[in-house]
């Protein structure tokens, strides 16, 4: 998306995008609404993109910390989305290419009666930290009040550089939580 924005999960607030691509992977969002903004600041008419549904290419993230779903190399922006409930965590791994670093990781969608879920990130191709926060790059609770916050804002740039990153998204309660996590990269060492 060049100077664009989008909406996810039940038409929430417009979320600014950038660059010329947006990859989408997961099993929770039925559609995205996209619009582009010209240099004068005028938004285009919204366009709805159908992301399909069960049986139409949706990806259920792995529930195994040692075999996370491989998303592949992050190009510019990727929107990962899923649904978690106690006993069904999501693990997925991305690769930050040489010469780049993760600029931001922000939850942009949250849909649940339960207002708290959990995330953690480890800079490995698997998630073997268990509950040892000393082995995690970033971790914490998130919910509706945290939408748009960059959860890696306080991580040293060296930890966000080239190589694998594995994410763990979990809900400990019995109420399902739908989430959307927007990742973006930028040139860096």
| H, E, C per residue of 161-173 | CCEEEEEEEECCC
* Residues 168, 156: Cα–Cα separation, whole Å: 20
Q: Which residues pair with 72 in a beta bridge?
A: 94
- Domain range for residue 49? 4-187
The β-bridge partners of 25 are 80
pLDDT value at residue 55? 55
Average pLDDT, integer, range 61-68: 91
Where is average pLDDT lowest: 33-42, 81-90, 134-143? Answer: 33-42
**pLDDT over threshold 50, residue 5:** no
Q: Is residue 116 predicted with pLDDT exceeding 80?
A: yes
Query: What confidence tier does 74 reach under pLDDT thresholds 50, 70, 90?
Result: confident
Q: Of the candidates 34, 119, 114, which has an alpha carbon nearest to the alpha carbon of residue 77?
A: 34
**Percent of all residues in the chain with a pLDDT value above 70, rounded to a whole number:** 78
Give bridge partners of residue 179 from the DSSP assignment.
82, 110
Mean pLDDT for all residues in the chain: 83
Which CATH number fits the domain that encloses residue 44? Answer: 2.60.120.290
User: Which of 136-140's residues contact partners 24+ apart within 8 Å by CB, and which partners?
Assistant: 137/165, 138/105
Count of domains forming the chain: 1
pLDDT of residue 42 exceeding 70: yes
Q: Which has the higher per-residue pLDDT, 103 or 3?
A: 103
Contact 179, 107 (CB under 8 A): yes
Q: How confident is the model at residue 95 (pLDDT cuts 50, 70, 90)?
A: very high
Mean of the pLDDT values across residues 12-18?
Answer: 65
Q: Contact at 8 Å (CB) between 1 and 19? A: yes
In this prediction, residues 41-67 reach a mean pLDDT of 76
What is the model's pLDDT at position 113?
94
Q: How confident is the model at residue 85 (pLDDT cuts 50, 70, 90)?
A: very high
Sign of CA dihedral 141, 142, 143, 144: positive
């Amino acid at each position: 998306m060049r100077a664009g924005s989008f909406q996810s999960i039940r038409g929430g607030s417009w979320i600014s995008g950038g660059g010329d691509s947006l990859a989408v992977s997961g099993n929770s969002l039925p559609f995205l609404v996209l619009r582009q903004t010209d240099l004068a600041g005028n938004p285009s008419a919204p366009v709805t993109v159908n992301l399909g549904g069960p049986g139409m290419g949706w990806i259920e993230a792995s529930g195994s910390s040692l075999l996370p779903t491989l998303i592949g190399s992050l190009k510019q922006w990727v929107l990962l989305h899923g649904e978690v409930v106690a006993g069904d965590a999501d693990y997925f791994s991305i690769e930050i290419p040489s010469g780049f670093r993760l600029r931001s990781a922000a939850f942009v969608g949250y849909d649940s009666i339960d207002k708290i879920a959990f995330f953690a990130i480890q800079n490995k191709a698997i998630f073997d930290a268990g509950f040892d926060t000393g082995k995690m790059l970033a971790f914490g609770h998130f919910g509706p009040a945290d939408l748009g916050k960059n959860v890696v804002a306080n991580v040293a740039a060296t930890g966000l550089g080239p190589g694998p990153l594995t994410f763990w998204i979990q809900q400990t309660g019995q109420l399902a939580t739908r989430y959307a996590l927007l990742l973006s990269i930028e040139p860096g060492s």
